[in-house]
Amino acid sequence: MESDNGNSIYAKFANGEPVLRVSGLKKSFGTHVVLDGFDLVLTKGENIAVLGRSGSGKSVLIRCLVRLTESDEGIINMLGLDVPDLGQDALDKLRAEIGFLFQSSALYDSMTVRENLEFPLRRHSKHLTQAEKDQMVQEALDNVGLSDTADLMPSELSGGMRKRIGIARTMIMNPGIMLYDEPTTGLDPVTGRGIGKLMLEMKKKYNTSSIIISHDMGCVKQTADRIVVLVNGRCRALGTYAELEKSEDPDVHSFFE
Amino acid sequence: MLINKTGEINHMYRERYRLLLPNTMTKRPSIFKQWFEETGNLSAFAGRYLRDSLRPPYDFGELLRQAFEVGYRSLGLVAITAFIMGLVITIQSRPTLVEFGAESWLPAMVSVSLVREIVPVVTALICAGRVGSGIGAELGSMKVTEQIDAMEVSGTNPFKYLVVSRITAATLMLPILVVIADAVSLWGAYIGVNIKGVVSYDLYVRQVFDTLEYSDVVPSIIKCVFFGFAIGLIGCFKGYTTTKGTEGVGMAANAAVVVSSLVVFIIDLLAAQITDLLNLN
Ligand SMILES: Nc1ncnc2c1ncn2[C@@H]1O[C@H](COP(=O)(O)OP(=O)(O)OP(=O)(O)O)[C@@H](O)[C@H]1O
Ligand SMILES: [Mg+2]
C-alpha cells in the first residue's frame, strides 16, 4: 500500500526517486553561523540519520526544511516544490505530507491525549466520521504502547510517555516524509527499540522516507539506511553505518566509539 | 562652543541640553525607534487578523469556547465590581447634591455617569487584567514550548485557530459584559439611593430611563467593541510574539496588561472627543 490518501503528492513519486533535495543551505543567527552550505538528498523509501554534536544545528536543519525557521540561502526542494518560495496555501498543503516530531514533543497542554491526536486529523480529513477517528487514535496509541492514556492530560504523562504520544501524533496522518528530532531520547532501551521497530514498520507499510536525528547509536543502526554527519554546518561524511564506522576522520569516528 | 570644529555638538553641552536636543543628536538608545517598530508590528498583526478573520473556514467551536472563557468566566468579577461601583458612586455623590438641594437628581446623575463612563472603563480594565494577561501567558507559553510551531507544521493555521478566535471573542463579549454590568451597577445605585432616602423601585426606574438616552448608551457600547478588540489584540500580539523562554512568558503577560490598560484609556479619550464632535450629547 502506498501512502494512505491517493491524491497525495508523495504517492506520485516512484521508489528511489529523490523526494527531498537540499543544497548549499545556509542559516545564521546574527553572527553565529549554524548551517554553512549543507547538502543532502533523500530518496523515496529511505531513512537517513543525522548525527552531530549538541548545538551543531540538527534541529535548525529540519526546522528549515518545513519553514518553521526561514533559511538564509540555498535550495530546499521537497516533493518537487521549492520550499523557500512557497505561498502559505501551498506550504500548508506540502506540510500535510510531512510528519514532524519535535525534540520537546510539543504536545498541546490544554488538550487531552485524544484531542492531541485528533487535532491534525480534523484539520485535514474532514470526511472522516467520529468512529473512524476513534479507531485511528486507538491504533496510533496501540502502536506506541499507550492504549489507555487517551483521556489523560499531557501534564499527567512522564517525559518518555509524552515523547511516545508525540510520535503517535506525528504518525497518525500517515505522512510520506517523516522528520524525527531525537525520537528515542529519554526512553528506556526496551521502549526505544520498540519505537525503532515501529519506525521501520511505518516505512515498510507506507513506504515513508525519514530523516532521523538521534544520539542513540542503537536506534541509528536499527533504523537508518544511510547516515550524514553534520560538522561545522556542513555535511562532513555520508554513508552506511558500516562505512562510517570504519572512517578515519576523528569527527566522524567519535560517534561510533 | 556649542558646535565644535567637526560639526558635532560639544560633549558638555550635549549632556546639559540633552532634553532639548532632538533624539538623533544626543545618541541615546532610541526608545522611539523601538516604539515605532512595535507599533508597526502590532498594526501588521491587526491587519493579518482582519484578513484571516474574513477568510473561511471559520472555527465556530473554538470561538464559542473562547467566548465562554472571556465572557462567562469574567462575569462574576465584572458583576461584583459593577455593583460596588454603582453603590459607592451613589453614596459619594449624595452629599454634594444635598448641599444644592438637588437630592432628587441623584438617580439621574449617577446613572448617566455610570453608563457613559465608569462601568465601561472599569469593566474594560478588569478584562485587560484578567483576559489580557490570560491570553498573553497562554499563547506565550504555547509559543516557547513549540506548540504553535507544532500546529503550524501540521498544516493548521495557528493564527486563525488561536488568535482570530480570541480577538473575535473579546470583541464580541466585552459589549455584552458591559450591558450586564450596566444593569448590575444601576441596581447597586438603587440600593445606594435607598440607604439614606426612600425612592420606590418604580420611581427609580422611571427616573433612570427618563434620563438615559440612546446617545448615552449607544456610544458607550460602541466604545466597548473597541476596548474588547484592543484587549484581545494586544494580549494575542504579546503572547504570539514571545521570545526568550519562560521569562518571556511572564513579560508577555505583564506587557499585555500594561499596554492594553493604557490603550483602553486612550480609546476612551478618543471616544469622548468623537462623541463631542458629533454633538451626540
Ligand atoms: N531561535 C534561535 N535564535 C538564536 N540562536 C539559535 C536559535 N535556534 C537555534 N540557535 C542556535 O543554533 C545552534 C544549533 O541549535 P540546534 O537546536 O539546531 O542544535 P542541535 O544540533 O539540535 O542540538 P541538540 O542535539 O542539543 O538538540 C545553537 O548553537 C543555538 O544556539
Ligand atoms: Mg536539537
Domain membership of residue A113 (yes or no) is yes
Query: What residues make up the domain containing A139?
Result: 106-172
Residue A34 near ligand 1, beta carbon < 6 Å: yes
Residues 6+ apart with CB under 8 A from A5: A11, A174
User: Which amino acid is present at A26?
Assistant: K
Q: Which of B77, B88, B163 is CA-nearest to residue B124?
A: B77
Half-sphere exposure at residue B93, Cβ-oriented, CA atoms within 13 angstroms: 22
Domain membership of residue A111 (yes or no) is yes
Can you give the pTM of this predicted structure?
0.84
Distance in Å, CA A32 to ligand 2 centroid: 16
Domain membership of residue A17 (yes or no) is no
Domain membership of residue A154 (yes or no) is yes
- C-alpha A182, offset from chain centre: 9
3-state SS assignment for residue A229:
strand
Residue A58 near ligand 1, beta carbon < 6 Å: yes
Domain membership of residue A196 (yes or no) is no
Domain membership of residue A73 (yes or no) is no
Q: Which residues of A touch B147 (CB under 8 A)?
A: 106-109
Q: Give the count of domains, chain A.
A: 1
Q: Computed from CA positions of residues A93, A76, A86, A72, in that sequence, does the dihedral angle turn out positive or negative?
A: positive
Lowest mean pLDDT among A119-128, B109-118, B189-198: A119-128
All three cell numbers of B231, joined, read: 484587549
Contacts by residues A85-92 (CB-CB < 8 Å, ≥ 24 positions apart): A88/B157, A91/A67, A92/B155, A92/B157
Q: Is B24 on the interface with A (CB under 8 A)?
A: no
Q: Which of A25, A19, A26 is CA-nearest to residue A43?
A: A19
Structure letter (DSSP) for residue A83: G
Q: Computed from CA positions of residues B71, B148, A108, B153, in that sequence, does the dihedral angle turn out positive or negative?
A: positive
A119 and B141 within 8 Å at the Cβ level: the answer is no
What are residue A181's DSSP bridge partners?
A213
pLDDT at B27: 53
Domain membership of residue A117 (yes or no) is yes
CA B135 to chain A, closest CA, distance in angstroms equals: 13
Q: Computed from CA positions of residues B65, B67, B72, B75, in that sequence, does the dihedral angle turn out positive or negative?
A: positive
B147 and A68 within 8 Å at the Cβ level: the answer is no
Domain membership of residue A133 (yes or no) is yes
Q: Which of A104, A115, A133, A23 is CA-nearest to residue A71?
A: A23
3-state SS assignment for residue B255:
helix
Q: CA nearest B144 in A: which residue?
A: A106
- For residue B175, whether the previous peptide bond is cis, meaning omega lies within 30 degrees of 0, is no
ipTM confidence: 0.89
pLDDT tens by residue, chain A, 257 residues: 334 445 688 888 888 889 999 999 999 998 999 999 999 999 999 999 999 999 999 999 999 999 999 999 999 999 999 999 998 888 988 998 899 999 888 999 999 999 999 888 876 666 778 888 889 899 999 988 888 998 999 999 988 888 889 989 988 888 899 999 999 887 888 888 888 888 898 888 888 999 999 988 989 999 999 999 999 999 998 999 888 888 888 888 888 88
